[in-house]
Each structure stands twice: as structure tokens, then as C-alpha cells.
Structure 1
Amino acid sequence: MLFLKIAGFCLLFLLGAYAGKPCNLKTFQPNFSVCVCNENYCDEIDPLGSPSKGEAVIYYSSQSGKRLERSTTTGSSNKPDGFHATLDTNNKHQKMLGFGGAFTDAAGINLQKMPSALADQIINQYYSSDGIGYTFGRVPMASTDFSTRVYSYNDISNDFNLQNFNLTHEDFAYKIPYMKTAMKANNQVKFIGSPWSAPGWMKNSGNMVGGGVLKGEFNGIYYNTYAQYFVKFLTEYQKVGLPFWAVTVQNEPNTGSSTTWPWQTQYYTAEMERDFVKKLLGPALKTSAAGRNVGIIVSDDNRKNLPSWGDTIFGDSDAAKYVTGIGVHWYEDGQTPASVLTTTHNRHPDKFILATEACCGYRKDGLGEWFAAQLITDDMMTDFQNYVAGWVDWNLVLDMSGGPTWVNNNVKASIIVNPDKKEYYKAPLWHHMGHFSKFVPPGSFRISHSTDANGDLNMVAFLDPQGRRVVVVINKNDVVGQKLSVFDNGKYFTANLEPYSLATIIIP
């Protein structure tokens, strides 16, 4: 009997079945499932390994409960039935920058409520090579809607020399420790700083909450002081061993036009960002020890800013020399076609486009909802097809209510913690993100493909730095399964996709 069990296990392994630690699936209601992790057990992703010549590896997830399950398939010279896609590795497009999430106050508060070993495990689930290989961390500069109070780094009025600038308890307790854990897991992590608002005393409204602009003459003393505020932020983080890769000028500057906006914001037009960058922020960073290698990302808002925002800023060489890319959010993508991304890229091919924030709204009964993750994945694919070079999710960790948030702006996250039970839940989005971030590392290129697939399937293809072809495909049909065969080097590699499922196909 023992021999039969061992032989059976070996056969499964040779056939490429999922041999690691599978998802401990918990279903809250039909089609709403998560993977449960605690100090004793958490699912693991089987390593890619070294597939044989003529084989491909498939990682597969589905609404029915499969989560990044590994298998292999042998290529066929005969054209199978179903849909087909042909790869063109000679037609390379944007170089991919990576994937990540945000080190918000809310994320840190939730991590701190967990046993330290579990908190570290959660960060490693995101950033280690054994996890899903995140390489980006977005870090709010002071408070956001996902803080528990409104604060800046200098709340002393008229302190134009910023003598009272200090990082806060939130930085030291909720951000820095977990950023350092991420750096230990992956020393290639790139941090992006993003402000929601200048200190209230610098704004014409006198308040961080709600819209408004900086006081006084444009690029006058308040603007000068605010440029140095960025330098101070970068300097203080550098002192604790956390250098930054980039900063955005402002999170969602369009919202700053509303004086009744319910949380922290600040207004810029493209022209205002252009002039602030070229006259003050860019020079301030380049002449500082902490900022000289830090890039500047403009817009950091929804697609509707494009292509005009890029044209305004990159059309000015004095501003463009300081700016490395454009940040886009996904929240109003249904109102603006993805073609504006391609137009922006074609006009300014030397500047990257990076998706810097995305999340879905909270539903009290929505934990483990597949459809929410599918919406984001479908949008990611469309973004990548239109020259977006990476994707940064919003809060890394939230609680069972989708918070904390001081304005009750509760949303979903890839990992949800339950401190009372000392366990956490990997929502479907964690696995969806992993279908990309695990197998499309920085330095990969998107490549062209042709397909006869119908609208139920969306797909995108990449060439990784080792020369492997990586195809991610999603079946958006909730009733009908689909079969897709990828043609490459004279062979067809086939994935069977049940309703509401997702596959990453890796061809050596």
C-alpha cells in the first residue's frame, strides 16, 4: 500500500500536477472563496522548474477554487480545435517595470495587529521570490483616506524653512518596518512617494481635506517651500535606509478642483505641474543628495488626462528632462478608451506609463469575490496592450471591513487580515496579480500576438529576460469553457479554461 501511495504521488508529480501546498479554500458563499493562511499553514506556488523540450508550464486559477495550480502540457504539431493565438517574438513593445502595492497607514495598522511572524509572512507573500515577486511599493507622503487621522509632516504655520518637519508615528510604526521587510525579501524593490496634499497652512483653503491650491504667487514662497518638503521627505527616508525610485507630483490632481472633496487632495492642471516641476521641484530634487536619482511621475490620475497631460509637460524640454513617466489610475477607464494610452506612448516613447493605483469598492458580503479580481485583470491586460509598463495595486492589507479609513472609504484588498483568529485571507486578486508579477519580471517585453479568439477571452503576451514566452489569458464567460492553443516555434500549447478562469502559459 505504501508503495502504491508513493508511486501515485510520483506519477502526479511527473504529470505536472500541483505538488506543493495547495490553497486551504474557504467559501463564504457560492463563488466567493479565499485561501486561508495562519502560522501553521499557507499555500505555496510550485516553482517553474525546468520543463522538457517541447513542453510548456501552465499556472491556472478559477472561480471554482483552483489557485495558481501548476501543470505541464506537451506541444503538438497538429492544430487543435478551439481558439488559437500566434506569438511574434520579433515584435517587441514596452519594457515592463514590475508590479506592486501600497504601504498605506491602513496596511501597516492591520499588519501590526497580527503576530509579527504572520506580518512578515504577508509581506513575503507579496515581495519574495517564493511569493508573487512584487517589485514596487507606493508610499503616501503623510496622510490619506486610508489613515486614521489627518496629518502632514509639518503642521506649524509659516515654517518656510521647514525646521519642524518630522516623520510621524505612522511612518515609524506602519510604513518603515514593513518597507524594510519588503527590501529584505527583494532588494530590487522600487518605492514611489505620492502626496495627497501639502500641509493645510500652505493651501489657500487652509485645510488638507478638500481641494485648493498652494497659497500665494505661483511658484512663490509656498511653492518653494513645498518643493523642499519633497526633499525633506526623501532625506528622512534615506536616513533610515529606504531610498526612493520616484515621486509623483500629486495623487489625483483633478479631485483638487472640488472644495468639498471628502478627503485630502490638492489641485493642479497640467500646466501647473509642468511649471512647478521645471522651475522648482525638478531642480530641488536634482540638487539634493536624497533626490538626485529620484524620478518624477506626472498626472497620477485617470486616463481622461491623456494624451493632453503628456503633451503639455513633455512638449516643454525644460520640464521633460526631470520627468520619467506618467501615472494612471483605473477608476474611470470605462469613460475613456485605452487608445489614449497608445497615443501618449507614440507621441512620447521615451516616457513610461505606469498604472499607479487600482482597487474595487467594498461589499460587506464580498470577501473572495472572483468577479472583482477579473475586472481588474481584464483592465490590466488592456492597459498592457496599450503600452502601460506595470501595475501598482492599492492597499497591501486591509481588515474584514475594508479599512481602516477615516472617511469610511472602504475597499477591497488582495490580502485581508482577521486578527481575532490570527489568520489572513488571500482574495482572488492576490492570485490574479501573481499570474503577472510572478512570471513577468522587470525587464520583460510585451510582444505582439494574433488570435482568432472571441470576446470572452482576453490575453497578453511577454518575452521574459530569459527568453521564455509568457502568455496570460482570462476566460470572462461565466458559463462556457474555452480552449486556447498558443502557437510558438512550430508547436501548439493548449490550455483549457473553464468558465471564469485565468491561465499563465510559459513556453521555454
Structure 2
Amino acid sequence: MKAQSYTTTPDLKTPFAQTTSSSHKLRTIQESENYLFVNPSSVRHEIIGIGGAITDASAVVYDGCSSEMKAKIMQAYFDPEYGLGYSVVRTTVHSCDFSPESYCYVKEGDKELKSFSIEHDLQYRIPMIQDAIATARHNLMIYASPRSPPAWMKTNKSLYQGGSLLPKYHDTRAQYLLRFIQEYEKVGINLRGLTIQNEAAASQRRESCLYTAQEEIVFALEHLRPVLDQAGYENLKLIGRDHNRDYMYQRAIAYQEYLDTHPELPVNALRGIGYHRYETRSNSKELYPTISDMARDFPEFALVFTEGCQEGFDAKRLYDRSIGRRYSASLIRDLQQGTCLRTDWNIVLDMNGGPNHADNKCFAPLHVFPEYDIIHFTPSYYHIGHISRWVTPESHIIGINASKSHLISLAAQRPDGKIVIVVSNKEDISHEYHIVLDQEVITLTIPPLAIQTTVIEF
């Protein structure tokens, strides 16, 4: 058994630094020591991929960069050998808060969608997605999330402040989303998934729309799904919820009750349930136990982390190591407990945490200063990378158990048979720990507040 380890410390001086380890046969367990017991026979869910969002904001910032900076950004994220190996991209259906301005794809009141055009996206967003596809060697799973129907389709006649989709426009809205998929396909962007509505329970001062669980499932499965299927998109995955962990379980119950009473629907009519991590606005902590509850009680739904970021941009916190640790803790816990796909929010923003027409600015793993050809690689970039670089698509999460609470850990077995162990040290002191696998022991030391990835080959 051979092992190679990589470590990133909070000072970021040598990210992904190769780390020495020792190995020996398992002898007596010492209760005072840290052990990670790995169980490859406990095979859990498959990982679809890890990635980030290409929004209008990211695309506008990217467009303002030099060709050299653009190449570095693409390589940093999407190159499978030298970057983070991102395999997923999320984008939006027309504008969102992370757009310089609000817009739609049709003219006011165009019920027949004769004016439908994605010309706006051809300037910035589509070229950036095309660059990502090329850098990833065409191995990208791309999906989209709508923020609001056009204002004239809604009860409040506004893109903002919630409002609901008028029932008389259910079919028009479904055709609108179909046209988006078709027009993107014409420029070489093949969407493989669509969330029904971003944050459907939040009335916001930006693009938003409200759906009850019943309204959401009726629109999705009685109007949108048939339109997609009839147009040949039977394999495009629909994802419900797309909001925080706090009411995921309630939505899942509603979805399941509907599906149980409509046996004529295809098995995968609704493929997954998406979620964000912003429940901390009304909770003191992220609700990780919800993910294990969902995986246990609703195994038919894929659990998809569709968005998450560090809110409240402040340039003074650009290298705040706690932001990176929050990222990796969230990734490790969610993936270990049942999440199969993980998408960060904006992949790159400017030095003000935007642009954002709603002044809702946030952090990204990369922030750029194009005027000086500067790219800031923040701690979150490296913390994500400790998982995305080595836990590749089609890996399976496997069992792992820690003997002490100092460390949080993730275990996965890749398609090539190698086992990946990711460990994050929560404490401001070093810890020696022992990975126990098949009566073999690998001993490592993790520095204070560091993250470490070990790849084991038999």
C-alpha cells in the first residue's frame, strides 16, 4: 500500500505541498491517539462532480482581463491536471443579482416568444462557458437555475420582490425555459440539468419568484417536464427546492406525496433536490444533519448543493483563513453525508465583490484586479481544491469514522481504485493521526488549522 499526501497550511506559502507519511501494520490501538478507521466495503453514493457558477458578474469580470489572466483563471479551475479539475458549471436563466443589470430574453408581453433571443449572453457569459468547456476537455456537466419569470408572467408584474407565476402562463414559462435550453445548445452548450426555481421561498429585492411546494411540483411535472420530453430532452434532470437546508425535508415530503399519487409519471421525472447553505441567516449553524436525514429517508432524490458562498464582502477579509475552513468543512460534511454534486457560487469576482445590481456582494475563490494583472487566490480556492482535485466524478463515498473530534474527514474511492482521504484540522495545534485501512496504518501529522489530502494506492 502506497500513500501520497498533500497539505495546505493557513499561510498559503506552499499550497498542496507534498507531505511525508509513515506506514506499518496495525498493532495495538492506543485510546489516547487519533485514528481514522476507513471502511471501503461501506460503499455509499456516487459523486457526480464539483464546480462553480459562471454568472454574468463572473463573465463581465473575466472579459475585462488580459488573455494571459483569462488563461490562468481557466486553468486554475477547469484544467484536470494543473487546476482544481472542476467538472460542473451552474449558470442562470437570464439575469440574477450577480448581473450588472436586469434583463429577460423576450420583449414585454410577448406570449408567443417570437422575440426570444440570448443575444445578451453572447457578449460575456457564453464565451466564458465555452472557454471552460474547452479547458475541461469537454468533460463538464452544465446546468441552469432560473431566478424569475419575465415580469409580465407574474402576479406582482416585477422581476423583484417575489410574486408568483400566474397559472395562465405555466405553459408559456415552460416554453421559455425550453427555448433557453435549445438556444444554448446551438452555441455548443448542452445543459444536463435545470432547477425549477432558485430560492422559491424567498421574496427578495432582486430577481425572485415564490412557489409553494405544491405549485412548484405542479408546474414542473404537469407543464415543464412534458414540454422537455416532447422536445427530446427526456434525459435533462429537473431539480427541486434550490434553497436552504432548513425546509428541504418538508419539500421532499410534498414531492414524494405528489409522485406517489401520480404513478403514471416517469421514475426520474424529478431527479434531485437542490440546496444552499444560507440557513445561517436564521440559524446559528449550518444544518448538516438535514443532509443525512434526506439521504436516509429519500434515497430516490439526488442531493445537489447548488449554491454557497461567504456573504458580506470585505476586502480586508480576502485572505481570512476562517472562510477557507468554512468551505472545506461544508464540503466534507455534506459529501460524506449524502450530497452527490457540489457547486460553489461565482467563480471569479472583482475587488468589490461584484458586480451586483442589488448591492448583494460576496466573496469568490478568485478575485481579480485586471488593471494590474493581479489574481487573488483566496483560502477557499485551496480548500475546495483539496477535495475537487482528488475526489473525481464517479468516485464513491465510503465509510470513515474518527476516534476523536479534533479532525473532520471524508473518504472516497475513485474509479481507478485509489482511496482518497481528506482531513481538516479544526484546532490551532498540530495533531498526529493514523489512517487505518485493511490492517495497515498510515501515520501523518496535520499542522494547525490545515487541510490535508491523502491518496492511497494498493
TM-score (norm 1): 0.84
TM-superposed CA distance for 1:120, in Å, is 2.8
**1:285 corresponding residue in structure 2:** 228
Q: Where do residues 352-367 of structure 1 align in structure 2 (5 Å cutoff)?
A: 352-361=302-311, 362-367=313-318
Q: Does the alignment pair 1:165 with 2:116? A: yes
Q: Where do residues 231-270 of structure 1 align in structure 2 (5 Å cutoff)?
A: 231-255=178-202, 258=203, 261-270=204-213
More relative contact order, 1 or 2 (CA 8 Å, 6+ apart) = 2
Provide Cα deviations, 1:96-146, integer angstroms capped at 9, x if missing partner.
111000010110111111112321321221111121110110011111111
**1:308 corresponding residue in structure 2:** 250
**2:108 corresponding residue in structure 1:** 156
- Looking at structure 2, the residues matched to 314 and 238 of structure 1 have their Cα atoms a distance apart, in angstroms, of 31
- Looking at structure 2, the residues matched to 490 and 328 of structure 1 have their Cα atoms a distance apart, in angstroms, of 38
Query: Is the 1:328–1:356 Cα contact (8 Å) retained in structure 2?
Result: yes
Selected match of 2:56 from 105, 115, 129: 105
Q: Which amino acid aligns with 1:310?
A: A
Larger deviation, residues 435-444 vs 335-344: 335-344
Q: 2:103 aligns to what SS in structure 1?
A: coil
Q: Does the alignment pair 1:505 with 2:448? A: no
- Looking at structure 1, the residues matched to 5 and 416 of structure 2 have their Cα atoms a distance apart, in angstroms, of 17
* Aligned length, in residue pairs: 442
TM-superposed CA distance for 1:336, in Å, is 6.3
TM-superposed CA distance for 1:468, in Å, is 1.1
**2:140 corresponding residue in structure 1:** 189
Query: Is the 1:145–1:263 Cα contact (8 Å) retained in structure 2?
Result: yes
Query: Is the 2:400–2:409 Cα contact (8 Å) retained in structure 1?
Result: no
- Looking at structure 2, the residues matched to 167 and 384 of structure 1 have their Cα atoms a distance apart, in angstroms, of 35
Query: Is the 1:326–1:351 Cα contact (8 Å) retained in structure 2?
Result: yes
- Looking at structure 2, the residues matched to 168 and 162 of structure 1 have their Cα atoms a distance apart, in angstroms, of 14
Which 4+ stretches in 1 moved above 6 angstroms? Answer: none
Selected match of 2:409 from 443, 459, 463: 459
- Looking at structure 2, the residues matched to 380 and 205 of structure 1 have their Cα atoms a distance apart, in angstroms, of 37
**1:70 corresponding residue in structure 2:** 18
- Looking at structure 2, the residues matched to 491 and 67 of structure 1 have their Cα atoms a distance apart, in angstroms, of 28
Q: Does the alignment pair 1:469 with 2:412? A: no
Query: Is the 1:325–1:352 Cα contact (8 Å) retained in structure 2?
Result: yes
Query: Is the 1:55–1:73 Cα contact (8 Å) retained in structure 2?
Result: no
Selected match of 2:34 from 83, 100, 107: 83
The answer for unaligned runs of 5 or more in structure 2 is none
TM-superposed CA distance for 1:90, in Å, is 0.3
Query: Is the 1:97–1:442 Cα contact (8 Å) retained in structure 2?
Result: yes
TM-superposed CA distance for 1:155, in Å, is 3.1
Could you say what the CA RMSD is over the residues aligned between the two structures, in angstroms?
Answer: 1.6
TM-superposed CA distance for 1:295, in Å, is 0.7
Query: Is the 2:66–2:373 Cα contact (8 Å) retained in structure 1?
Result: yes
TM-superposed CA distance for 1:367, in Å, is 1.1
The answer for unaligned runs of 5 or more in structure 1 is 1-53
Q: Which has the larger radius of gyration?
A: 1
**1:375 corresponding residue in structure 2:** 326
Q: 1:315 aligns to what SS in structure 2?
A: helix
- Looking at structure 2, the residues matched to 247 and 292 of structure 1 have their Cα atoms a distance apart, in angstroms, of 12
Over 3 Å counting, the alpha-carbon distance change for 1:441 and 1:374 in structure 2 is same
- Looking at structure 1, the residues matched to 145 and 249 of structure 2 have their Cα atoms a distance apart, in angstroms, of 21
Q: Which amino acid aligns with 1:453?
A: K
Selected match of 2:98 from 146, 152, 175: 146
**1:488 corresponding residue in structure 2:** 437
**1:331 corresponding residue in structure 2:** 278
Q: Does the alignment pair 1:93 with 2:44? A: yes
**1:14 corresponding residue in structure 2:** none
Query: Is the 2:39–2:398 Cα contact (8 Å) retained in structure 1?
Result: yes
Query: Is the 2:24–2:442 Cα contact (8 Å) retained in structure 1?
Result: yes
Query: Is the 2:430–2:446 Cα contact (8 Å) retained in structure 1?
Result: yes
- Looking at structure 1, the residues matched to 449 and 57 of structure 2 have their Cα atoms a distance apart, in angstroms, of 31
Q: Which amino acid aligns with 1:398?
A: L
Q: Where do residues 415-430 of structure 1 align in structure 2 (5 Å cutoff)?
A: 415-430=366-381
Query: Is the 2:60–2:125 Cα contact (8 Å) retained in structure 1?
Result: no
- Looking at structure 2, the residues matched to 414 and 324 of structure 1 have their Cα atoms a distance apart, in angstroms, of 29
- Looking at structure 1, the residues matched to 347 and 454 of structure 2 have their Cα atoms a distance apart, in angstroms, of 26
Provide Cα deviations, 1:171-200, integer angstroms capped at 9, x if missing partner.
112211111111112212011110110011
Provide Cα deviations, 1:430-487, integer angstroms capped at 9, x if missing partner.
1111111110111111111122122x3111111111111111110111x321112101
- Looking at structure 1, the residues matched to 454 and 356 of structure 2 have their Cα atoms a distance apart, in angstroms, of 38
Identity of aligned residues (%): 27
Provide Cα deviations, 1:368-412, integer angstroms capped at 9, x if missing partner.
111011112112222123201121000010011111111211111
Q: Does the alignment pair 1:296 with 2:248? A: no
TM-superposed CA distance for 1:315, in Å, is 3.0
Query: Is the 2:426–2:449 Cα contact (8 Å) retained in structure 1?
Result: yes
Query: Is the 2:352–2:361 Cα contact (8 Å) retained in structure 1?
Result: yes
**2:75 corresponding residue in structure 1:** 124
- Looking at structure 2, the residues matched to 450 and 336 of structure 1 have their Cα atoms a distance apart, in angstroms, of 21
Q: Which amino acid aligns with 1:100?
A: G
TM-score (norm 2): 0.93
Query: Is the 1:415–1:427 Cα contact (8 Å) retained in structure 2?
Result: yes
- Looking at structure 1, the residues matched to 451 and 384 of structure 2 have their Cα atoms a distance apart, in angstroms, of 11
- Looking at structure 2, the residues matched to 336 and 306 of structure 1 have their Cα atoms a distance apart, in angstroms, of 13
